[in-house]
Structures are given as C-alpha cells and as structure tokens.
Amino acid sequence: MRKPWAKFPFGRKKEIPAGLYIKCEGCGEMVFKKQVEEKLRVCPACNYHFRLSARQRIDFTLDQGSFQECDADMTSGNPLEFTDLKTYPDRLKEHQERSGLKEAALIGHGRLEGKPIIFGVIDFAFLAGSMGSVVGEKITRAIEMAIEERKPLVIVSGGGGGARMMEGVFSLAQMSKTSAALARLDDADGLYISVMTDPTMGGIAASFASLGDVIIAEPGALLGFSGPRTMWHAVKMKLPEGFQTSEFLLEHGFLDMVVNRSDLKPTLSRLLDYLPVNAAPESPGQPDQAQASSAQSKNSHRK
Ligand SMILES: [Zn+2]
C-alpha cells in the first residue's frame, strides 16, 4: 500500500551554509552575517553592538594601516606565583594562543582622519580584558607618550573583569598608577577621550575609563563597578532597570555622549578638531602670554 504521505513533495532538506547567519545577542534573531559586518558588527534589526576584538577596533577607528604598536612584546610575570585550576603562566599562554595577543591592552601611534593620536584599546577576549600590571603599564606609557609628544590620547575600554585577581595587589595598584598619569596629562594641558564599550567594569571603570576629558560610550554597553548581582547582595534593594547601561549613565550625567559605532570615528575626529592640543612651547616651562591664555581658554571650554 502506498504510504499516505507519499504524495507530499518531500525532498532533501535544503541546508543553509554554516556561518551565513549569526544569532543576535540583543534581539535573539538570526541575522545575516554579511549585513552585521557591513554595519561594523552592529545588528541591523535592533542596533545591538557586538563586541569587537582589539584588531577590529583599530581597523574601524584608525586610518587604514596607520597603527604602529608600541611595547608589543610586554608580557606579565607571575609575582604571586598564583595557581587556581591552572598556573597563571599557563592561563596567559592559553589566552595568548586563543586571542593572538600578548596581553589584553594594545597601545601605539595612529591617525584618525589624518590627525595623529596616541591610541589604546583593551580586548575583552584576553582574560576578560582585566587590568594586570602589563595593562596598567601600557596604559600609563600611552599617557606618557601623549604628554611627551603633545598628541591627543584616545583609549577604548572594554574590560569586563576589572582588576586581574591573579596579580592581586599589583593589579589594584594600576588604578592609582593610571589615574596619577592622567593627572599629569591634565597638568600638561593634554586631551584624553575615553570610549567605553561593552563591558567596562571594575578597576578599569573605576580608573582611567572614567577620567576622560570627554567620555563616550557605545549604545547598550554594560558600564559600572561591580555586576548587578553583587550590587544587589551588597545593598539588598531593588535597583533601577538598566542602571548600568550607557543610556542610564548618560541621563545621570556620568557620560558626555552615547554614540553609535558607525558615528564614532567622525565624532572623535570632530572632537579632535574642537579640542586641539597646543604645540609644545618654544622654551619649555616658559609659555608666552598668548599660549598661556589660549591654554586657559581651552581649559575653561573643556571643564
Ligand atoms: Zn538584534
């Protein structure tokens, strides 16, 4: 007897080539990967900003081929001889192989729409972008380069882990070290633009990421000190909906702007035009009257 369903045109199931679609973490939809890539890894349906690697961030922010990395070979020691399930050096090696980076931060010289800047970026893929002594040292060196070369500094943070527990107090010391360096940059009348991306938490949020002359964030990013669950355990009260998002923090005066990724480069370029860093005075320490007054007017404009 003919099977009753034989008249239905069952054919071979058509297969979608793997990797053509990706699931959006924002709206849960399957979205066409090529469209996401074309929008600099932003969901075309809901504007969810996917996380970027440090290399992608450099490609999307700086002029093509302009990035020249500094201190590329700096790696962490193991000052506390820390071991959990693995030794800290083994864990570093694993993350180096997985991410293709030596450490979570990259710093260097670059150009943004032709303007020379000092650029730093934190990659979440390397030990959750946590700030160990190498990240702190690299960020500090980037700040010092900005002071010495009188160039604007742009740092893109995305370090969810905050401090790096495997380095204990050495990690915590990086908060004051980077903050002190930024105070020197401020004394030198430099310019620092901080860009916070998802997620910027812990020691990074509590130090250099929050100390920009201008602080920008990408939409929907998680920004804060400790995670919502830890906060709830500490304060035992209902926290406002979305209290650690870019939009909430903008509304409460913590950020200057929330900028879509596609607008980030032109926005940074405009800010660099509006807030130029003065060229070095001819005789150091003896700025002439005109430079002193222009520095003053820039400061009053910015603060
Ligand atoms: Zn989406």
CB 109 within 8 A of CB 71: no
The domain at 52-278 falls in which architecture? Alpha-Beta Complex (3.90)
Tell me what the mean pLDDT of segment 82-96 comes to: 95
Question: Model's pTM, two decimal places?
Answer: 0.86
Q: Where are the chain's structural domains? A: 21-50, 52-278
Q: How far is the CA of 227 from the centre of ligand 1 (A)?
A: 23
d(CA 139, CA 102): 15
Q: How far is the CA of 63 from the centre of ligand 1 (A)?
A: 28
CA atoms within 13 A on the CB side of 31: 23
- Residue 222 near residue 201 (C-beta atoms within 8 A): yes
| Distance from Cα 152 to the centre of ligand 1, integer Å | 34
Phi, psi of 69 (to 5 degrees): -75, 145
| Separation between Cα atoms, residue 83 and residue 265, nearest integer Å | 41
Which pLDDT belongs to residue 199?
94
- The answer to whether residue 54 scores a pLDDT higher than 50 is yes
First to last CA, the chain: 86
Tell me the pLDDT tens digit for each residue of 91-107.
Answer: 999 999 999 999 999 99
User: 109 C-alpha to center of ligand 1: Å?
Assistant: 34
> So what's the pLDDT on residue 5?
59
* 236 CA from centroid of ligand 1 (Å): 32
Distance in angstroms (rounded) separating the CA atoms of residues 218 and 41: 12
CA of 16 to the centre of ligand 1 (A): 20
Instruction: Kindly tell me if the per-residue pLDDT of 34 is higher than 70.
Output: yes
